[in-house]
Amino acid sequence: MKKRIMIILAILLAFILVVTSYFFVYGGEPEIENFNDVSANYETIANVAMKYYNELPNKNDRITILTYDDHMEVSNYKNPLEDRVVVNLSEEEKSAIKTIDKEFDYMWVTKDYVIFWQDETKYYGLVYSEKPLTIIREMKNDWYDAVEYHRINSNWYEIGSFGR
CA 96, CA 73: separation in Å to the nearest integer? Answer: 16
Dihedral through CA 6, CA 12, CA 17, CA 18, nearest 10?
A: 130
Confidence of residue 24 (pLDDT cuts 50, 70, 90): very low
CA 20, CA 43: separation in Å to the nearest integer? Answer: 30
pLDDT at residue 26 is higher than 50: no
Average pLDDT along the chain: 79
CA 127, CA 130: separation in Å to the nearest integer? Answer: 10
Would you list the DSSP string of 31-99?
A: S-SSHHHHHHHHHHHHHHHHHHHHHSS-TTS-EEEEE-SSEEEEEESSSTTTSEEEEE--HHHHHHHHH
Instruction: Report pLDDT digits (tens) over 66-117.
Output: 777 777 777 766 666 566 677 778 889 888 888 887 888 888 888 889 999 9
CA 48, CA 89: separation in Å to the nearest integer? Answer: 9
115: Cα separation from own chain's centroid:
5
Lowest mean pLDDT among 14-23, 56-65, 97-106: 14-23
- Is the sign of the CA dihedral 121, 125, 128, 134 positive or negative? positive
Instruction: Yes or no: say if 115 and 139 are a contact pair by the CB < 8 Å rule.
Output: no
Q: Give, for 155, the enclosing helix (H) or strand (E).
A: none
CA 86, CA 89: separation in Å to the nearest integer? Answer: 10
Confidence of residue 122 (pLDDT cuts 50, 70, 90): confident
Q: What is the pLDDT of residue 147?
A: 85
- Integer angstrom CA distances of residue 74 from 25, 65, 91, 100, 113: 33, 4, 19, 16, 16
